[in-house]
Amino acid sequence: MAKKILIISTSLRRRSNSEALADAFLAGAKAAGNIVEKITLQQKNLSFCKGCLACQKRKTCVIQDDAGAIVEKMRQADIIAFATPIYYYEMSGQMKTLLDRANPLYSSDYAFRDIYMLTAAAEDEAHVPKRAISGLQGWIDCFEKATLAGTVFAGGVNDAGAMDGHPALEKAYAMGMTIQ
């Protein structure tokens, strides 16, 4: 049976390298017969969490911006894939802001089980995405039915569009293809 997959591209840069990974993952997941939607945070208005915890009672955030609709799509997805550039060895700030704003999911009947992370960075060492993955794992740990199902890292890419021919694109595609 086809899975409902939500891919969230968190880079604000046009032709970003992490978004290229998201597109490759999307192509693989679609080729495997899944229902796939990609959201990009470009042009989205996301405010910081106020920490009021009203969302735990209301099941929605009190802040009226684009986060509410994205969080609802997250709640309904079977699988979520986050694509982020690595900034200072960590996930992008806009990704962290979205994760914070996803607090209404904590007490909800969320559908997602598998979470994927696609990362790109100028640095090429294997340890580069470690802290970003750890940060996402901290979020996942709050959802007892969810697990980190896989990661792809593209190192050595800095300029927009630098992903052309990068082997991580094939890995992202193949990872998407495994979802059935």
Residue 70: what residue type?
I
- Taking residue 114's Cβ as centre, other Cβ atoms within 10 Å add up to 18
**Sign of torsion, CA 19 45 142 109?**
negative
- Identity of the residue numbered 121: A
Residue 47 scores a pLDDT above 90 = yes
Q: Whole-model pTM above 0.85?
A: yes
Average pLDDT across the chain, whole number? 96
pLDDT per residue as tens digits for the range 119-137: 999 999 999 999 999 999 9
Which residue, 11, 8, 7, is CA-closest to 162?
A: 11
Buried b (16+ CB within 10 A) or exposed e, 118-136: bbbbeeeeeebbeebbebb
Asked if residue 1 has pLDDT above 90, the reply is: no
Write the pLDDT tens digit of every residue in 139-174: 999 999 999 999 999 999 999 889 999 999 999 999
Cα–Cα distances in angstroms (integers) from residue 84 to residues 63, 139, 153, in the given order:
24, 15, 10
Residues found in the chain: 180
Indicate the pLDDT class of residue 43, thresholds 50, 70 and 90.
Answer: very high
The pLDDT score that the predictor gives to residue 161 is 87
Other beta carbons within 10 Å of 85: 25
What's the distance, CA 48 to chain centroid?
17
Say yes or no to pLDDT of 74 above 90. Answer: yes
Q: State the pLDDT at residue 6.
A: 98
Question: In a 3-state reduction of DSSP, which class is residue 36?
Answer: strand
**SS3 state at 71:** helix
Provide the pLDDT for residue 119.
98
One-letter identity of residue 63? I
